[in-house]
Structure 1
Amino acid sequence: MGDPDHINNNMTGPDPQPTERIRVPRKMGYHLITTLTTGLVGLLMGLWLAIFLLPNTALFHDSALGKYIEEHAQLAAREASEGIMSDVSKQLKAIEAQKAIIEETSDDPDMTVSEIVAQYKSSVVTIVTKIRDTESENEMRNFIGSGFILNRDGMIATNQHVIGGADTITVILADGREVSAKEINSDRDTDLAIIKIDNRISLPGIVTVGNSDTITVGEQVVAIGSPVSRNFAGTVTSGIISGKDRNVYIGDSVISYLQTDAAINEGNSGGPLFNARGEVIGINTAKMSDDVQGIGFAIPINILKEKLTYLSRVPLYTGFTAKDLNPEALEALNISNGVVVIAVDKLSPAEKAGLQEKDIILTFDGREILKTSQMNDIRERHDPGEKIRMEIKRGNDLLTLELELTARP
């Protein structure tokens, strides 16, 4: 192999001429480096003065640029501060909202069955009624039920069917005392009634009323009452809520019951159904037939709460009895609504108003009537002495009567 310096990559022809180098004088190079260095140092000094020194001078603050920068810096700081405070405020509101939710949904500690009994058994009473035998007017029949004391005025809640038609009502308190009571008011459609004992009597206890809307299926409940006879007064049974919104028909009305597997027997009617916090959430009312076990029913306490204003005062008296008309009867009479009068008491407001049996009441206080329960609801909103206008159909005639309400005699 030859000398590498003479390899021409197999190219032919004369050797290429060597490239001529550009030379910079050494003195000129030093001057260039010095100039660049000085410029860089000057730039850095200028930046330092602009950033750290100049903003702190009075001259800069008084300049238009200084004022502009300061105003925008303050604005930016305020916006940032407001943004931070807004975020903090939102977080605090979220925390407060969560706290409120927790407080609303947090329940008081559940009580044991024995604790509920110890605290509230004294508020449960036995109710004994005497009703004249329909077959023999000289004989009286005894019936037993339960109830619970609502307040210090001696008001007691129970079922309408416990005291309905009673000649006398006797309340046996938890401590054994027997006192007479009188019916204040009752409502057949909801099977609820309020009776009252003398408020001068010292009461052994009163209940705490809960909210039946919040009860859940599977929740523990306790029933206290007097099943079968007064000898079993204060009997305690426990179980769970087996179901809700169980529609059961009573006559022409329907009640949405709570279902429980706590033992409910004859005599328990009108007694309280407690939840695990010792609050009354139902009024024990009925059971399935004797051959079916573990299925009892209670009226939700919220129905009583809705009716309490009406039930706590002596009812208004109209002096007539009416009955709903079925669709076939309405069609035969060629009317779309109305109820038929089946009885009018002598010397009653109804008789004085001119109402007669077989009259069809079309409107009551300006409202079209399809069911007797509608008239009862309207009557509840009036006071003694007020008058209600009625439109009636008597044969082929349409009449207008005016009925004056009075307190029940």
Structure 2
Amino acid sequence: MNCSLLTLVVCLGSISLTLSASAPVVSIPAPDYTAQSVPLSQQAQSITVKVRSQDFLGSGIILRRNGATYTVLTNAHVLQAGDPPYRIQTVDGRIYTANLPQRLNFGKNDLAVLQFKSAGSIYAVASFGASPTPGDEVFAAGYPAVEERGKKQTFAFTTGKVGLVLAKPLEGGYQLGYTNNVKNGMSGGPLLNRRGQVVGINGMQAYPLWDQPSVFADGSKAEERLHQMIIRLSWAVPITKVMQMIPKAEKTTVTTVFSKAD
């Protein structure tokens, strides 16, 4: 073998070693672009609104957007706490007058929707996840009621875990029990999973003031041991129940809705 041929063999061998050393780089998994880069609390706040009439009533979730029209999900008992006209206050502080859509009925489930129009501002809309299982980490969000005059109302975001998923719902459709601290005013706000997806709608606090029997939607009562477990947890209506019923909202219309800056 002459010198020039030997040189060529050595060079090719060097290239082969270099490629071999760099091969692992090719096998590195691509970045997970589905991972959320925005903090969960910020995601939750972007889709959570205040529901008002003359005064603050509770919280709500921006469920969907159709053009300039937004649908907000909340609890029926939140709306029952005040009289129309209802108003929605979004994360940017703007207040919009909202209407109750016609021909939408959630039956005996503690659910209701409002709709408002925003001609200038665009708001985030919730994404939805599957019902969680016991032990899953969940996050409850909303706006607790202010009890002291002059105290500023702040957004609350609490961490906990699912404690119970009932085989059949309690009255109002409540089926997800969790350890998060939920205060007055957070009713209607979202319960989220680790991906920032809404899995339920907050509505019942732990340790109710009146220890009444836990009653299921079918009218039967929970036995005492289960009842004691139920009252130690906060409760949400599963978002899966909402999505089974909400397609009817697409057929509704909103009239005489206007917006105004706060």
Task: State the TM-score, normalizing by the size of structure 1.
Answer: 0.42
CA distance in 1, matches of 2:137, 2:35: 10
CA distance in 1, matches of 2:105, 2:183: 22
CA distance in 1, matches of 2:65, 2:134: 32
Alignment-derived partner of residue 256 in structure 2? none
Alignment-derived partner of residue 242 in structure 1? 163
1:181 matched to 2:98: yes
Alignment-derived partner of residue 128 in structure 1? 52
- Which of 169, 172, 177 aligns to 1:259? It is 177
1:278 matched to 2:185: no
Structure 1 position 109, deviation (Å): 9.4
CA distance in 2, matches of 1:143, 1:246: 34
Equivalent position SS for 1:125: strand
Q: Over the residues paired in the alignment, what is the CA RMSD in angstroms?
A: 3.0
Q: What are the superposed Cα offsets for residues 110-132 of structure 1, whole Å, 9 maximum, x if unpaired?
A: 979982112332111011124xx
CA distance in 2, matches of 1:112, 1:173: 22
CA distance in 2, matches of 1:125, 1:244: 26
Change in CA separation of 1:152 and 1:248 when aligned onto 2, cut-off 3 Å: closer
Alignment-derived partner of residue 168 in structure 1? 85
Structure 1 position 278, deviation (Å): 0.8
CA distance in 2, matches of 1:291, 1:246: 24
Structure 1 or 2: more helix by fraction: 1
Structure 1 or 2: more strand by fraction: 1
Query: Letter of the aligned partner of 1:221 in structure 2?
Result: V
Query: Letter of the aligned partner of 1:240 in structure 2?
Result: K
Alignment-derived partner of residue 226 in structure 2? none
- Which of 111, 115, 122 aligns to 1:203? It is 122
Equivalent residue pairs, number: 192
Alignment-derived partner of residue 306 in structure 1? 244
Query: Letter of the aligned partner of 1:243 in structure 2?
Result: L
Task: State the TM-score, normalizing by the size of structure 2.
Answer: 0.64
Q: Is the 8 A contact 1:124 1:234 kept in 2?
A: no
Structure 2 residues without counterparts, runs of 5 or longer: 1-31, 212-230, 254-262
Alignment-derived partner of residue 57 in structure 2? 144
Alignment-derived partner of residue 349 in structure 1? none
Structure 1 position 200, deviation (Å): 1.9
Structure 1 position 143, deviation (Å): 4.7
Structure with greater Cα Rg: 1
Q: Is the 8 A contact 1:223 1:271 kept in 2?
A: yes
Q: Is the 8 A contact 1:113 1:222 kept in 2?
A: no
Larger RCO, structures 1/2 (Cα 8 Å, 6+ apart) = 2
**Could you tell me the percent identity over the aligned residues?**
27
Q: Is the 8 A contact 1:143 1:162 kept in 2?
A: no
Change in CA separation of 1:220 and 1:147 when aligned onto 2, cut-off 3 Å: same
